[in-house]
Amino acid sequence: MPPTAPILRNYEPVVIGPQKPSSSELSPIQEEILRLKKEQNAVILAHNYQIEPIQRIADYVGDSLGLAYKAAETDADTILFCGVHFMAETAKIVNPGKTVLLPDLEAGCSLSDSCPPEDLRAFKEKHPELYVVAYINCSAGVKALSDVICTSGNAVKIVEQVPADKEILFVPDQNLGQWVARQTDRKIHLWPGSCYVHVLFTVQAIEELQDQYPDAPLVAHPECTEAVRDIADEVCSTEKMIGFCRDHPAREFIVITESGMLHRLHREVPEKTFIAGPTENCACNDCRYMKMNTIEKVRDALQKKQPEIQLDEEIRQAAYQPIKRMLDWSR
């Protein structure tokens, strides 16, 4: 049999490390955002996947769990949420009296889209006995139909607290749900949803990158497929990646998640080097929804006080209960 030809991948991996010192200077537009923020008693919450100029001016940068806590605790009048729609919606659910702004209302999420509320309602009618655990990456309509919410940072802890006599329906991410199922003895039914970014990482492309960086541990998000999770040294939420990379003796890490994570890692662990995980044909790994937020849109949102998240009050109240349960259970 002839030897298999090597696959020619047309990318250079994105690498951020000590050779790229962080600049401390702010641009005029970033200065303007900070001025508007103060004027309006606003707080800027940003997810780890946001572009670096947005992360730099945020009051808090974190994962979905940390952002949910910050949103619940803030005493600001306005929350400018730099993330995707379901995250800003969660902030509004826990803060009905506040103005919640999202720089681009079109910033959605493929996972959230994979579980429309009407489909979940129909499924529940056929299986009313199931206890619904919903990953926070879902719409307010889905949250309103759920028993408890979880994030990738607390999913195992939440599932372990579901009443022992209940079988669980985990929505919408089959990969996160499967990862949780492997760590608990609970019977879990999986909704067939997935994140279009995380399922693009392949074992073959990662192994080729490991040939270039043989000493770099692999840290992966649980939204990746099982095949990828199985070769990772650590599987965890974006926030836990910081602690893992800081505490591990290695100097270089391959990071299997959305590329924005590298900025946060670089700021928090500046002495180490981070290599963006590869997908089949590129190493960009940008979530097109997360990247809809630009620094100009952040400024415009504060200036115009829109786009604003609006929610039907009945849905908001129903969606609040499972979020509150999550916040209580994960303390």
Instruction: Give the closest residue to 190 by CA, choosing from 232, 239, 135.
Output: 135
Q: Which residue has the tokens 């372990």?
A: 160
- Angle (CA) 169 175 181, round 5°: 55
Does the protein bind ligand SF4 through residue 258 (CB under 6 A)?
A: yes
Please choose which of ligand SF4, ligand 13P, none residue 64 contacts, taking the beta carbon within 5 to 8 angstroms, the exact cut-off set by kind.
Answer: ligand 13P
Neighbours of 34 (CB within 10 A): 14
Toward ligand SF4, which CB reaches closer, 16 or 290? 290
Residue nearer to ligand 13P on the CB measure, 61 or 130:
61
Minimum CB–partner distance for residue 195 and ligand SF4 (Å): 3
Stretch that binds ligand 13P, among 114-122, 145-153, 264-272, 293-301 (CB under 6 A): 145-153
Contact by Cβ (8 Å): 273, 251: yes
List the x/- string, 155-194, binding to ligand 13P by CB under 6 A: ----------------------------------------
Q: Let me know: does 154 contact 148? Beta carbons within 8 Å.
A: no
84 forms part of the interface with ligand SF4 (CB under 6 A): yes
Cα gap 268→3, rounded to integer Å: 44
Q: Is 78 in the site for ligand 13P (CB under 6 A)?
A: no
Residue 151 binds to ligand 13P (criterion: CB under 6 A): yes
The answer to whether 139 contacts ligand 13P (rule: CB under 6 A) is no
Cβ at position 200, least distance to ligand 13P in Å? 12
Q: What one-letter code names the amino acid at 275?
A: I
Interaction with ligand SF4 in 120-179: which residues (CB under 6 A)? 137
- Is position 239 an interface residue for ligand SF4 (rule: CB under 6 A)? no
Burial label for 313, CB within 10 Å (0-12, 13-18, 19+), is exposed
* 154 scored as a contact of ligand 13P (CB under 6 A): no
Partner interacting with residue 194 (select from ligand SF4, ligand 13P, none; CB below 5-8 Å by kind):
none
Told to check if 110 binds ligand 13P by CB under 6 A, we report no
What does 77-103 look like in DSSP terms, one character per residue?
SEEEEES-HHHHHHHHHH-TTSEEE-S
Cβ atoms < 10 Å from Cβ of 68: 26
The residue type found at 222 is P
276 interacts with ligand SF4 by CB under 6 A: no
Give the Cβ contact number of residue 47 at 10 Å: 27
196 binds, among ligand SF4, ligand 13P, none (CB under 5 to 8 A by kind): ligand SF4
Q: How many residues bind ligand 13P (CB under 6 A)?
A: 12
Question: Is the CB of residue 171 less than 8 Å from the CB of residue 193?
Answer: yes
Contact between 89 and ligand 13P (CB under 6 A)? no
For 59, phi then psi, to 5°, come to -75, -30
Report the nearest approach of ligand 13P to the CB of residue 281 (Å): 20
| Residue 237 touches which of ligand SF4, ligand 13P, none (Cβ within 5-8 Å per kind) | ligand 13P
Phi/psi region, residue 273 (left: phi>0; alpha: psi -120 to 50; beta: rest), is: beta
Among ligand 13P, ligand SF4, none, the one that 110 touches (CB under a kind-dependent 5 to 8 A) is: ligand SF4
Nearer to ligand SF4, 144 or 287 (CB): 287
Tallying the residues shown for the chain, one arrives at: 331
Question: Taking a C-beta distance cutoff of 8 angstroms, is the pair 65, 237 a contact?
Answer: yes
Q: Cβ 289 to ligand SF4, closest distance in Å?
A: 5
Closest listed residue to residue 324, CA positions, set 41, 3, 72, 44:
72
Give me the residues that bind ligand 13P (CB under 6 A), please: 48, 63-64, 137, 151-153, 195, 221, 223, 237-238
Give me the residues that bind ligand SF4 (CB under 6 A), please: 84, 109-111, 137, 195-197, 223, 258, 287, 289-290
